[in-house]
Structure formats: structure tokens, C-alpha cells
Structure 1
């Protein structure tokens, strides 16, 4: 009787698990296929207009569709758009890691440290001083400073887990970061060409001065001249700074509130050290030891770039103009000032260190 019951239970559960997987796939397909279609169009157009490039065109096409075409705002597309803008983007970073050796990662990451530390200091200190002068609340200015200085929404998410700010404060910070992500993607590549930057100098600039990984990738790959892989390594090096920052925020929050870290919950290590960062290092290690044939590099690079374009299509299609309005004026002013200061600091430090 027991065996029959157990067997019967298995018979009931297995189809149910399979059914859930099928439902998940069906939910993802509409939005994901739309992202792939937009990416394909953007890639084709990008070959005709290489100065702009496929990744930027994917965001622009996505924004235009989400703004002007009612069916592009259908809620049924949301799961696929979210999947494209997060897991697909993270997968693209891992794929691009197959074209870099660990020696190159360490060399590029190490060379970026002077510019990275200077830009980070300007962002974190400036957020507190300028934010206080503008009357922006402590939590909002801290989140905007961390998001601008380190890794955008990812840094805000990790910091939120230890700070426990109000939902409205998180929304203000993410809205502000999102606004200047879009501005950076559209403005940085033509500015870089205007001032005659090389691929490496632009990669260092975008990697240290643009907020989210998606925007760094879009700007660098649109610029061309080998800026993309260089910018990714710089950005990943910069992203590691979230580890000490979150530890400091947890300590400062516990002192201010009188509640210890243990009572507030463990540090969010999965957010602090994302899986795609580990995957990128593993991919680079495999390339270093020769597991990945050199003849595969071209195809993997093209695949990684297309996955990036798919991800940026998802970000563009997810954009709503109300997100920009909801950020409010004072946080936007703070975010704009920090964005300009960090970009200027990065360029200035490159001039001083002779990397531009």
C-alpha cells in the first residue's frame, strides 16, 4: 500500500513539475522572441550605421516600440523582457569572458584601479555633500551614490538588503540611475569619438563612469575599436567594490539603528557576488589553459555581442516614460551632478595617468 501510494505520488508530481516548466517557457516566449526580433533588426541596421551600432539601436527601437505601439506594452511580454534584460545579459558577459585570458583580466583590472578609486570616491563623497545641500534624504543619496559609483541597480539592490530603506527611496534611486544610464548610452560614444579616444581609453572611461553593466556594454560596443571587452573587465573590477561597501553600510546601519547585523539578517552574498561574475572568471580561466580553441573566439564574440543586443532590446522595451517622471526633481539633479562629476573625474585621471 505504501509503495503504491509513493508511486502514485511520484506519478502525480512529475507531470506537475513538467507542466510548470512548460508554462514557464510559454510565459517567456512572447517577450523573448520580440527581443530577438528587435536585436536582429538592430544588428542589421548597426552594420549600416556602425557609429551608432546594434546595441544602442536595440535600446532605441525598444523605447520607440514601448512608447508608440500599444501591443508592445502588453503585460504578457513582461516575463520574456525581464529574462532578456537579466539572465541573457549575464550569459553574454560569461560568453565574452571566453575571449579573455586571466592575465589580460588582471592586467586590465589592475591598470584601471587609480581611475576607478578616484571616480568611486567622488561619487560616494559627492552624494553625501551635494545630496545634503539639495535636501535629498540620507537613504536616497546613499543609494544614488552607491549606484552611480559602483554598479547601478545591482549595487542598489545589494545595499537595500542591509539598509532596509523605504520602497519609495529605492524607486527614486533606481529611477535616477535608469535615467542617466540611457543618457550615457546615447551620449558617451559620440563624445568619445569627438575627443578622439582610443578603444582602450573609451573602455576605461565607460567602465568607470557609466552606471549599470548593460549601459557600459551598450556604450562600449557601440563605440567599437575593441572598447567592449576592455570596458567589461574594468566594470567587473569596479563591481567588486560592492563587497566592502555593503559591509560598511551594514555596520553603519547597525550603529545608527542599534540593531546588529545578525538581527537584521545575513549579508546578501548572492547579490554582492553575482553568479555571472564567477562565470566570467571561470570562462577566462578556461581560455587561459587552452580549453577553448582560438578558432572559436570569433564566433563566441559574435554570439556574446548578439546576446547583449537581445538584452538591451529587453531593457528598451521595458522602459516606460513614467519611470523617468517618478524619480522626482531633486534626486535627478543629484544624479545628474554626480554623473557629470564622475565622468569628468574619470577623464581627468586618465589624462593625469597617461591612459587617454
Structure 2
């Protein structure tokens, strides 16, 4: 939420309008490709779908929202979360290196990070390391992408013929939008907003550490190589295809 205080409304609107096409295309594309890839690899459909949802939208938040909608059990949720969190950790360090190697501008990198990195926290971490403009673009687009959690969860319940009506709504998106509006309409408190923004970025480091410490090597071993192989393959597909799209645009 606090990151919203560092982003102006006009910046948020511009970033969202510029990236809406690729957001929709990559969400639908990732879910469709993930569905067929999971079948091809013989991966459990619930596990595959959870990893696909996390890859398509916003990592752990998407998995948490979709899981009850498709009646996924705790073991499948844990495997999907572990897979996504491992890839998040890799992306946090690898993406800025690739961005600099390819001399990506701030806007392009921010857009790419928002599309290809799973969790919002890792998106913000990678973009923050790249630059302020990249951070603004990445955060705004990632949260616009996260809004798709609700329709995807509803469609997922239909696909899996689930009778569950439980859908977890990520309220942090609403709070983030409120923070942007408050900072835009009450500019006299700019000093306070910048302080909140700075503290929020530091707290993000703590969050990333906690996420990393929650990954159990034993759990990954028990799950076998198939979920991780599936997650890596899907992640590479969306990363390479989205970057190619952005470079050709």
C-alpha cells in the first residue's frame, strides 16, 4: 500500500493505458499454454493450474485466490507456492542483470518485470534496483494485472466445475489505489508521502527475506522435479515472448 504514495495518478494512468494490451494477451496466453503444457507433461491439473495462475497474474496472491475456487488441497497449494517463490528469488537478481545487458530503458524494463516476474514484491524489488521510472511502471502495471485475479478465479471455478464460492480478494490493490488518489489530491503532504514510500521500500526487503525463508528444500524434494520443470518452462516462455514483443514494439 505504501508504495502508492510515491506514484502520481497521471503516471499510473499512463503506464496502465500503455501496457493494457500486453497484460491481457499474456494473462490469457499463459493460462492457455499452461493448461496444455501441464497435460503434456503429465502434471496434476490442479498443481499445474495453480502454477499457471501464479505465473499469469501475481504469484502467491493469485494462487491463494484461485486455490479455493478450484478446490485445490493444501499439498498442491504448497507445491505451487514453493515453485513460484523459488522462481521469484531468481528473477529478483537475474532480471536487472539482463535489463542492463540489453540496455533496456526504464519503461521497457518496468513493463517486462510486471509481466514476467510472478509476485508483486519481487517485481518491485527488481524494478527498484533498476530505477525510479522502472519502479513506477512495474508497480502500476503489476497491480493492474493483479485485478484480473477476480475474473480468473470465477472462470476457474467454472472450468473445474467447483461448487466453492470462496474467492480471496486481494485488498492490497484497493489500498494501493487509495494511496495514489490521496497523494494526488492532497499534495500538501508530499514530504510525508515520500517518507512512507521510502519506508515501504525498506519493508519490502524484509518481506522478500521472509518469503525466501519460507521455502522448504524438503518440500521441493518431496514434490519432485515435474512441478519445478513446468514452472521454469512456463516462466521462460512468458519472459522471452513478452520481452521479444516489447523489443519489437
Q: 8 Å contact 1:220–1:231 — kept in the other structure?
A: yes
SS in 2 for 1:98: helix
* Shift in Å, 1:292: 4.9
Tell me whether 1:267 sits opposite 2:187 in the alignment.
no
Structure 1 residue 160, shift from structure 2 partner: 1.0
Deviates more, 1:205-214 or 1:96-105: 96-105
Matches within 5 A, 1:35-114: 94-114=1-21
Instruction: Note the alpha carbon deviations across 1:167-201, whole angstroms, 9 max, x for none.
Output: 22222211211221111112111111110012211
1:350 counterpart (233, 246, 249): 246
Question: Quick check: 2:11–2:136 contact (8 Å CA) kept in 1?
Answer: no
Q: Distance in 2 between matches of 1:159 and 1:289?
A: 35
Q: Could you say if the C-alpha distance between residues 136 and 349 of structure 1 is closer, same or farther in structure 2, counting changes exceeding 3 Å?
A: same
RMSD of the alignment, in Å? 1.8
Structure 1 runs of 4+ aligned residues shifted over 6 Å read none
Q: TM-score scaled to structure 2, two decimals?
A: 0.92
> Could you tell me which of 105, 115, 119 is aligned with 2:22?
115
Unaligned 5+ runs, structure 2: none
- Cα distance in 2 for partners of 1:292, 1:280 equals 19
TM-score, with structure 1 as normaliser:
0.66
Once the two structures are superposed, residues 130-160 of structure 1 have per-residue CA deviations (whole angstroms, 9 ceiling, x without a partner) of 1111111211111111111111111111111
Q: Compute the displacement of 1:120 (Å).
A: 1.6
What are structure 1's unaligned runs of at least 5 residues?
A: 1-93
d(CA) in 1 for partners of 2:106 and 2:120? 17
Tell which structure's C-alpha radius of gyration is larger.
1
Distance 1:151 1:187 in 2: 18
> Does 2:178 correspond to 1:279?
no
Matched, 1:182 2:81: no
1:130 to 37, 52, 56: 37
Count of residues in correspondence between the two structures: 249
Cα distance between partner residues in 1 of 2:102 and 2:31? 27
